[in-house]
Structure 1
Amino acid sequence: MVSVAKNAGSKPAAWGAVLSMALCVAMLIASEFMPVSLLTPMAKGLGATEGQTGQAISISGLFAVAASLLVTTVAGTWNRKWVLVTMTAFLLLSLVLVAAAPNFAVLMTGRALLGICIGGFWALATAVIMRLVPQSDVPRALAVMYGGQAIAAAFAAPAGSYLGGLFGWREVFWALTPIVAVNLIWHVVALPPLPAHQKQDFRAMFGLLKRPYFLRGLAACMLSWGSAFTMFTYLRPFLEQMTGVDVTMLSVLLLLLGCAGFVGTWAAGRFIKGNVAPFLKLPALVMGGATVGLLVLGFSVAATGLFMAIWGAMNTMFSVIWMTWMSQNADDAPEAAGSLMVAVIQASILLGAVVGGLLLDGISIQATFIGSVVLAVVAFMLIGNGQHMLKSA
Structure 2
Amino acid sequence: MAAVTTANDRRPAAAWGAVLSMALCVSMLIASEFMPVSLLTPMAAGLNATEGQTGQAISVSGLFAIAASVLVTTAAGRLNRKWVLVGLTALMLASLVLVASAPNFAVLMLGRALLGVCIGGFWALATAVIMRLVPAADVPRALALMYGGQAIAAAFAAPIGSYLGDLMGWRAVFWALVPIVAVNLAWHLISLPSLPARGEQDVRGMIGLLARPYFRRGLLAAMLSWGSAFTMFTYLRPFLEQVTGADVAVLSTLLLLLGCAGFLGTWAAGRFVTDNVAPLLKLPAIVMGGCTLGLLLIGGSVVAAGLFLAIWGVMNTAMSVIWMTWMSRTVDDAPEAAGSLMVAAIQASILLGAVLGGLLLDGFSITATFAGSVALAALAAMLIGGGRSLLKPN
Paired position in structure 2 for 1:23: 24
Q: Give the TM-score, by structure 1 length.
A: 0.98
Distance 1:8 1:191 in 2: 15
Cα drift, residue 274 of structure 1 = 1.9
Instruction: State the SS of the aligned residue for 2:96.
Output: helix
CA distance in 2, matches of 1:292, 1:11: 47
Alignment of 1:1-393 (within 5 A): 7-9=3-5, 11-392=12-393
- Counterpart CA distance in 2 for 1:376 and 1:30 is 24
Q: Is the 2:80–2:194 contact (alpha carbons within 8 Å) kept by the matching residues of 1? A: yes
The AA in structure 1 aligned to 2:102 is: A
SS at match of 2:386: coil
For each residue in 1:183-212, what CA deviation from the matched residue of structure 2 results, as whole angstroms up to 9, or x when unmatched? 000000000000001111001100000000
Q: How many angstroms does 1:7 deviate by?
A: 3.6
Is the CA contact 2:85–2:122 (under 8 Å) kept in the aligned structure 1?
yes
Between the aligned partners of 2:68 and 2:148, the Cα distance in structure 1 is 24
- Partner AA of 2:206 in structure 1: M
Amino acid across the alignment from 1:188? L
Opposite residue 140 of structure 1, the aligned amino acid is: R
- Structure 2: runs of 5+ lacking an equivalent: 6-10
Amino acid at match of 1:245: A
Give the AA of the match of 2:323.
W
Supply the distance in 2 between the matched residues of 1:284 and 1:208 (Cα, whole angstroms): 24
Q: Counterpart of 1:69 in 2: which secondary structure?
A: helix
The match for 1:3 is none
Measure, in 1, the Cα distance between the counterparts of 2:60 and 2:78: 29
Cα distance in 1, alignment partners of residues 326 and 386 from structure 2: 14
For residues 382 and 180 of structure 1, the distance between their equivalents in structure 2, rounded to whole angstroms, comes to 39
Tell me if the contact between 2:4 and 2:13 (Cα under 8 Å) persists in the aligned partners: no
Question: Shift of residue 114 of structure 1?
Answer: 0.2
Amino acid in structure 2 at the alignment position of 1:113? L
Q: Residues of 1 paired with 2:386 and 2:47: CA distance? A: 46
Distance in structure 1 (CA, Å) of the matches to 2:33 and 2:13: 33
Rounded to whole Å, the distance in 2 between the matches of 1:11 and 1:243 is 51
Distance 1:385 1:213 in 2: 13
CA contact (8 A) 2:261 2:311 kept: yes
Q: Aligned partners of 1:144, 1:274: CA distance in 2, in Å?
A: 17
Counterpart of 1:38 in 2: which secondary structure?
Answer: helix
- CA–CA distance in 1 between the matches of 2:3 and 2:390? 29
Calculate the aligned-residue CA RMSD, in Å. 0.9
Q: 2 CA distance for matches of 1:338 and 1:73?
A: 12
Per-residue displacement from partner, 1:289-311 (whole Å, max 9, x unpaired)? Answer: 00000000111000000000000
Amino acid at match of 2:88: M
1:160 partner amino acid: G
Residue-pair matches, total: 388
**Runs ≥4 residues deviating over 3 A:** 6-11
For residues 73 and 11 of structure 1, what CA distance do their matches in structure 2 show?
Answer: 27
- Distance of 2:106 and 2:130 partners within structure 1: 36
